Amino acid sequence: MSRLNFQIEAQAPGTRARAARFTTLHGEIQTPIFMPVGTQATVKGLTVESLKNSGSRMLLANTYHLMLRPGVEVFEKFGGIHRFMNWDGPVLTDSGGFQIFSLPHSRKIDEQGASFKSYVDGRLHLLSPEESIRVQKAIGSDVMMVLDQCIPATASHAEAKAAMELTHRWAARSYKARGDSPQSMFAIVQGACYEDLRKISADTLTSMPFDGFAIGGLAVGESKNQRDDFAELTASLLPPDLPRYLMGVGTPLDILEAVHRGVDMFDCILPTALSQRGTAFTSRGKFQLRRGVYKFSEDAIDPDCACGTCARYSRAYLHHLSKSDELLGWKLIGKHNLHFYHRLMREIRSHIIAGTFLDYYHGRREAWSRGDEENPSRPTPPRKKKAVMRIAT
């Protein structure tokens, strides 16, 4: 039986979208939910008060980075990440598998685990399934992830099969390493973009008593259509009475498509990462506030938004801060973006419960497929070639 007491409240007609709730060690969560990424026990530049005001209810933290700095000993002293960062809501920790995948030239993977050099002090580490779970237990997250081997979407069938089978063996070892910890644990379905492997992976992992399942191995080089198709396929293979988590995805449109296909949980760095570049997500499209067209604009980022940034600051000021590379601009746009994402999740949930999600899906899908229609960018005209004076000979 799942430690999370997952309960479906509604499923919208004409779609696989569903609204549910589950209970963690640090409170109840309603789905669909978006989790801001707090890689280093912080969401870049934002206090926990800002996160709560934006609507954040559950955060993601990074096992790979936190084991290197500040280290397991710090979390053991503080009794876990919640007291350490002053966050009293639920936390999900990834296992470190994706970070190992992103270090192709400085790591070695074998049956035991992944060996790599620390970017902090150059020391050699072995991240095994047992070590990953030991670190996550010390961090004290509400949901732990099994260690998996992530590979690029372009991998061959043989490579994807080998990585999937290793992931299954590591999943069994991760589950055993949890012992009697009250923390929940999710397994990760792999198999790249191969339908037969996805089915094998789902069948193998769902035979084990995990508390939920993640869809891994997407957003690593596949096309958008492939991502949507394999999210739908994998979600359809997972138990209906447990949460489904699509890892590392994505844009508002990505989330909308995945909810339509039966996914419950999401995380992505985009809302805060793109705020550093002056990008704002709005109900009217995605705005790039560095563009000169906003230099004199007195409007809020999004007139339909009630966040503190939109209530107090103009596009012109945010344009100035962004062009000047001021930290305040990054923070203010980041606050707005997270507010937008959480509002999106609340809207999706309310439409699922009301039975109107399918109409909402079609309407928003069209809107979010567009760019900045208020101030469309114009292609740069080609430079005229200078006439070359030729001297007759």
- The 10s digit of each residue's pLDDT in 215-246 is 999 999 999 999 999 999 999 999 999 999 99
- φ and ψ at residue 344, rounded to 5 degrees: -55, -45
- 82 with 179, same domain: the answer is yes
Report yes or no: 39 and 62 within 8 Å, Cβ to Cβ. Answer: yes
Rounded to whole angstroms, how far apart are CA atoms 264 and 244? 5
pLDDT for 1-22, tens place per residue?
689 999 999 999 999 999 999 9
Report yes or no: 310 and 336 within 8 Å, Cβ to Cβ. Answer: yes
pLDDT class of 389 with cuts at 50, 70, 90 = very low
**254 catalytic residue (yes or no):** no
Containing structural domain, residue 288 = 276-368
334 CB-near residues (< 8 Å, 6+ apart) = 43, 44, 45, 46, 271, 272, 275, 276
- Which of 252, 268, 284 terminates a domain? The answer is 268
- Which of 238, 268, 298 terminates a domain? The answer is 268
Rounded to whole angstroms, how far apart are CA atoms 99 and 93? 13
Q: Where are the alpha helices (DSSP H) in 1-71?
A: 48-54, 63-68
Q: Which residue out of 94, 142, 148, 228 is catalytically annotated? A: 94
Q: Which residue out of 142, 254, 267, 372 is catalytically annotated? A: 267
Per the structure, the count of domains in the chain is 2
Rounded to whole angstroms, how far apart are CA atoms 338 and 286? 14
Which pTM was predicted?
A: 0.93
- 210 with 350, same domain: the answer is no
In a domain, 349, yes or no: yes
- What pLDDT is attached to residue 104? 62
Q: What is the CATH classification number for the domain harbouring 193? A: 3.20.20.105
Region 201-205: what's the mean pLDDT? 98
Q: What is the DSSP string of 108-172?
A: EE-SS-EEEE-TTT--EEEE-HHHHHHHHHHHT-SEEE-------TT--HHHHHHHHHHHHHHHH
- φ and ψ at residue 196, rounded to 5 degrees: -65, -35
pLDDT class of 387 with cuts at 50, 70, 90 = very low
**94 catalytic residue (yes or no):** yes
Give CA separation, 99 vs 66, 68, 75, 127, 259, in Å. Answer: 12, 12, 20, 11, 26
- What pLDDT is attached to residue 390? 43
Relative to beta strand 279-282, strand 27-31 is unpaired
- What pLDDT is attached to residue 96? 87
